[in-house]
Amino acid sequence: MAEFDLDAYVGRSKALDLFAFPWDDVSHHPVSAEAVRTLRYMQDIESHTIIYLRELLATRAVDDPEVATFLACWLYEETFHGIALARFLEAAGSPVGPREQPAARIPGSSGSRPRGCRSSPRHGRTSARCT
């Protein structure tokens, strides 16, 4: 397996050029319901990269400068993929629309707090304290 060249990746990393795409032409090409469903899924995954990154930043992986550099570029690129897919879906007549806001949760948990637990800051993070 070839070694990953982080410097080359960082040098090539950039946002998609959304101005070069003929957005007005999208409506002239029907998109099937199955394709819309798949594109919505892809858009959701790409636009939620920040959530995956948040989880990774809470681990020791971020202590490695190469990992941190890769993650920064990854987030940048994936964000623009999500924007491009959302714009395509809108141009195809199937806009993404607003997302539901998730309930606050304790990092590292399944999202629910046991009775008597509350959040408190600790070392720059939130941790659960149960009484």
60-114 confidence digits (pLDDT tens)? 988 999 999 999 999 999 999 999 999 999 999 999 987 777 676 666 655 544 4
- In this predicted model, what pLDDT tens digit does every residue of 17-69 receive, in sequence order? 899 899 999 999 999 999 999 999 999 999 999 998 999 999 998 899 999 99
pTM for the whole structure:
0.70
Angle at which helices 33-47 and 49-57 cross, to 10°: 30
**Residue ranges making up the domain that contains 36:** 30-96
Inform me whether the pLDDT recorded for 115 exceeds 50.
Answer: no
| Position 39 in a domain | yes
| Position 109 in a domain | no
| Position 78 in a domain | yes
Tally the domains of the chain: 1
| Position 45 in a domain | yes
> What is the reported pLDDT for 40?
96
| Position 79 in a domain | yes
- Asked if 69 contacts 6 with a C-beta cutoff of 8 angstroms, the reply is yes
Rounded to an integer, what distance in angstroms lies between the CA atom of residue 122 and that of residue 37?
Answer: 41
